[in-house]
């Protein structure tokens, strides 16, 4: 799998020729000013919840790609009313099978409203499985026990978890989450974008190392293969 980081919680995963972009927030993120949104290609846009810092660039990316938007019913329908025709509304516990793999919507503990204040349903995370690979994108969330169910059902290669604290898990809870879902590799997101979520990267990497977890902190715009 190829993993590209576009800043904040925005990640592009290439898995078996499918390009999945999660939670696009690029043009309003000064840290991501080098990323050219016009050149992003995607087959799917997956949204964990309706907050601005997760959905700001959906329409721009959709305009160029017509990628299918996968989100909770409320978030998907909100975008549908704004002209996004290619949507796949889901809800928690639901699984959809595509010809290349499956997407399951799983629980998250957070909140969710759309940028205009509309109700955004409940926040979610996703598990994506394709061939031998599977990964978990938790979305903005607190640590919670339901994560253990993911390890019962899937054999994950890695997890994408928030580590910035304040609005989501911090590094200590994220490392517990990694053990709950059964991974020893974590791509950290949702840090440094705002003053309240600035982290000490070295300290986070050391804490992960102490728990034998590989914490991957990508520079914005960088790609790695996992
Ligand atoms: Ni949020
Ligand atoms: Mn957020």
Tens of pLDDT along 86-125?
A: 999 999 999 999 999 999 999 999 999 999 999 999 999 9
Closest listed ligand to the CA of 110: 1
The pLDDT score that the predictor gives to residue 216 is: 98
**Best CA proximity match to 159, nearest among 121, 190, 193:** 190
Q: Residue 223: what pLDDT?
A: 98
Cα gap 116→200, rounded to integer Å: 33
β-pairing, 95-98 with 101-107? antiparallel
pTM: 0.98
Ligand approaching nearest to the C-alpha of 53: 2
Cα–Cα distance, 7 to 69 (Å, whole number): 20
Which numbered ligand comes closest to the C-alpha of 194?
2
Which residues surround the ion ligand 1 when the cut-off is CB under 5 Å?
Answer: 51, 140
Instruction: Report the separation in Å between the CA atom of 157 and the middle of ligand 1, taken as the mean of its atom positions.
Output: 25
Ligand nearest 8 Cα, by number?
2
């Amino acid at each position: 799998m190829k993993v590209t980081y576009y800043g904040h919680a925005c990640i592009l995963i290439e898995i078996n020729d499918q390009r999945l972009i999660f939670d696009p927030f690029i043009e309003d993120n000064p840290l991501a000013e080098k990323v050219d949104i016009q050149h992003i290609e995607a087959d799917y846009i997956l949204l964990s919840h309706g907050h601005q810092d997760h959905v700001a660039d959906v329409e721009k990316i959709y305009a160029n790609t017509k990628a299918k938007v996968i989100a909770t019913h409320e978030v998907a329908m909100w975008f549908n009313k704004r002209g996004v025709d290619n949507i796949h509304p889901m809800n928690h516990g639901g699984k959809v099978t595509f010809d290349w793999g499956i997407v399951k919507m799983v629980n998250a503990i957070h909140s969710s409203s759309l940028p205009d204040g509309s109700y955004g349903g409940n926040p979610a995370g996703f598990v994506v499985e394709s061939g031998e690979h599977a990964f978990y994108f938790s979305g903005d969330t607190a640590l919670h026990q339901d994560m253990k169910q993911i390890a019962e059902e899937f054999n994950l290669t890695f997890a994408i978890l928030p580590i910035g604290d304040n609005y989501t898990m911090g590094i200590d809870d994220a490392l517990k989450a990694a053990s709950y879902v059964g991974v020893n590799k974590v791509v950290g997101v949702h840090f440094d974008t705002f003053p309240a979520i600035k982290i000490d990267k070295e300290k986070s990497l050391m804490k992960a190392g102490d728990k034998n977890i590989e914490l991957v902190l990508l520079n914005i715009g960088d790609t790695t293969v996992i």
